Amino acid sequence: MNKDQKNEVIELLKGKFSQYSNFYITNTESLTVAQVNHLRKVCFDKNVEMKVAKNTLIKKALESLNSEKYSAVYEALHGVTALLFSDSPKEPALIISDFRKENAKLEKPVLKAAFVGEEVYLGDNQLATLVKIKTKNELIGEVIGLLQSPAKRVIAALLEKANKEGGEVAEAPAAE
């Protein structure tokens, strides 16, 4: 790979790191070509971009963007490295976890690190934590549910009181 090609890869990676606030660094070293192709297809289907690059080029791309911000992930840049870029903080974790379940004898891909939002998760033992992360939409749904619950109880109590007093009260419309 000549200098121009390396610079091209660095620029491509810089674009990906800037575009996505979440990326996972994995080791896919012992996977067969067929397994890697299957993993790529699963990633594509789930809107996760998978890129394989040399560790030195990944580090140069990260350093040129913000050396201090990404410094914690540098120790994960060794061996064969595949990057998984996603808008979702947990989709790559689900892909890795499901891929391992499908291929019961495999412990790959191994999670070397994950950069989610502004947090760094180092090591494969963090995969279970990453699978449990709630997405923005899940959190919004929980908050809406919590806000609706007291209102529904108040309406039900008012309707019950009105019915006991013998007054006619129209049924409240169901909350959507």
Helices (H), 46-135: 55-66, 91-102, 127-131
- Segment 82-101 shows an average pLDDT of 95
Region 35-62: mean pLDDT is 96
The predicted structure's pLDDT at residue 171:
57
* Predicted structure pTM score: 0.78
Please state, rounded to an integer, the average pLDDT across all residues of the chain: 89
**pLDDT for position 26:** 97
Fold of 3-133: Alpha-Beta Plaits (3.30.70)
Burial class (CB in 10 A: 0-12, 13-18, 19+), 36: middle
Q: Where along the chain do the CATH 3.30.70.1730 domains lie?
A: 3-133
pLDDT at 167: 52
Q: Per-residue confidence at 64, pLDDT binned at 50, 70, 90?
A: very high
Please report the pLDDT score of residue 139 as a whole number: 72
Least confident of 56-60, 101-105, 117-121: 101-105
Is the pLDDT confidence value at 23 over 70?
yes
Give rounded-to-5 percent helix, strand, coil for the chain: 55, 15, 30
Q: Are strands 22-27 and 119-122 parallel, antiparallel or unpaired?
A: unpaired
As given in the structure block, the two tokens for residue 56 are 């030195």
Res 133: pLDDT: 86
Q: What is the 8-class DSSP label of residue 78?
A: -
